[in-house]
Chain A
Amino acid sequence: MSVGAAFSVELRERLTPLFGADIAIERLALLAGGASKEAWALDLRTPQGTRELLVRRAGGGVIHQETLTLEHEHRLLEVAFAAGVRVPKPYGYLGEIAGRPAFVSERVSGETIGRRIVQRPDLAAARAVLPVQIAEELAKIHAIPAERVPFLGGGGAAVILRRLTDEVDLLGDAHPAIELGLAWAKRQAPEQSETVVLHGDLRVGNLAVTPTGLGHVLDWEFGHYGDPAEDVAWPLVRAWRFGIDQLRLGGIGEVEPYLEHYNALTGRHITLDSLDYWEIVGNLKWAIGALTQSRRHLSGQQRSVELAVLGRLAAEMEYELLHLLERAG
């Protein structure tokens, strides 16, 4: 895609304090666009050689309410990077470029498409080590001191369930299966739990995976405080198994060794029962999320065939939710 000259000029200006005056934009291409966020591949010539960078920039539409601003997402990336989490190296928040906020980070390679990660034959060795590596990254994220990211919102089960109920009330029609799930989750909510920094969306599909294993943890816009078990259970949700349903951990592995490794690293005692609970909440989150996203299309906030069809696919999460509820009793 060709880029407006004003955009390139302004971008180059903002990059100067970070990379020096002797730079030139060699390539700038839109990788993913949308009303909420854009991702640009940027090859930047510097005296030290060409750097492969990624520019994340706000889209023209309304940002999803529950996501971090680009400035906060960049700050969270910086803090996570300093904590040794495998994230693309953040280079700096750029302020507004042509009227919209943006930041720049390292551009990493690796497979990011969930369906390919669970299927590609040449990623078999990666799949063997990914469960333990995901546990390691979660352990590091959950150890980030909360005071370094004071802008994060969220909370324990009660806070999340209240937010989900509010979102259901905004849908405009009733969903008995989801109500059953919310009622169960409220009854069974853990009374008290510790609250830590969570990635919020760590799963297959938000990782860059190379043939040797986990390259980088991506997509930090859902970062929030919460029960660590919420993050540990999220990659178990069936939608993130990409068709390899018998492997409960993201279509790549079994849950037990993953959980044991996480507990050993963190000294926590998260139980399989707790993961069962948060897997149900995870299915609720994604069922309600899919319905909410389709409303963005229907309301005209962001017209998109993808968002429209998501409204019908919420039934998949409802079906899984009901079976998990049946099993939980």
Chain B
Amino acid sequence: MQDRPSAAELAQAVREFIETEVLPGIDDPRLRFRMLVAANGLGILEREIGTGAPLVRREVESLARLLDHADPLPDDIDELRRRAGDLNRELALRIRGGDTPEGTLAHCVTTVADKLRVASPRYLERYR
């Protein structure tokens, strides 16, 4: 096992360094904007390390229900991500073929909200 800081703590340390030490010294607006984007990227990384795994599991469970798959879910996170990719492909093909399963819209709203919890939580909070 690696010593602390953990992956999330390390990403947070770099983000805080950018925000408190680097950004105040940058005058070039283009570089400043990309610096903010970079800090935002690290924020996404922190949240994904912290809360990403259960969200993937939730997505796969919902997809399996929607598509009537009964096979047990893998425990390994990489396996789970692969499964999510496969099931999303199957669902996308069904929609494109005009055979959209009942409940797809609600599934998508929940799943995309979960993506935003990692990628853009403030957008999700602000959304009305």
Are the C-beta atoms of A180 and B104 separated by less than 8 Å? yes
Are the C-beta atoms of A179 and B40 separated by less than 8 Å? no
Q: Which residues of A contact B111 (CB under 8 A)?
A: 176-177
Q: Which residues of B contact A182 (CB under 8 A)?
A: 96
Are the C-beta atoms of A174 and B104 separated by less than 8 Å? no
Contact with A along B57-82 (1 / 0, CB 8 A): 00000000000000000000000000
Contact with B along A26-59 (1 / 0, CB 8 A): 0000001100000000000000000000000000
Interface residues in B78-128 by Cβ distance below 8 A to A read 85, 88-89, 91-93, 95-96, 98, 100, 104-105, 107-109, 111-113, 115-116, 118-120, 123-124, 126-128
Q: A254 contacts the other chain (Cβ, under 8 Å)? A: no
Q: Which of A180, A183, A246, A305 is within 8 Å of B34, CB to CB?
A: A305
Indicate whether A32 sits within 8 Å of B30 (C-beta atoms), given known contacts A176-B88, A176-B95, A313-B120: yes
Interface majority SS on B: helix, strand, loop or mixed?
Answer: helix
Q: How far is the CA of A305 from the CA of B93 in the complex (A)?
A: 31
Q: How many A-B residue pairs have CB under 8 A?
A: 91
Are the C-beta atoms of A309 and B41 separated by less than 8 Å? yes
Please give 20 more A-B residue pairs, beta carbons under 8 A apart, in addition to A176-B107, A177-B108, A326-B105. Answer: A174-B88, A174-B92, A175-B92, A176-B88, A179-B91, A179-B92, A179-B95, A182-B96, A183-B96, A183-B98, A245-B127, A305-B34, A305-B41, A315-B112, A318-B108, A319-B112, A319-B123, A319-B127, A322-B109, A323-B109
The 7 closest A-B pairs by CB, nearest first: A174-B92, A312-B119, A179-B95, A315-B115, A174-B88, A174-B89, A177-B108
| Residues of A that sit less than 8 Å from B by CB | 32-33, 173-177, 179-180, 182-183, 243, 245-246, 305-306, 308-309, 312-313, 315-316, 318-320, 322-323, 325-326
| Residues of B that sit less than 8 Å from A by CB | 30, 33-34, 37-38, 40-41, 44, 85, 88-89, 91-93, 95-96, 98, 100, 104-105, 107-109, 111-113, 115-116, 118-120, 123-124, 126-128
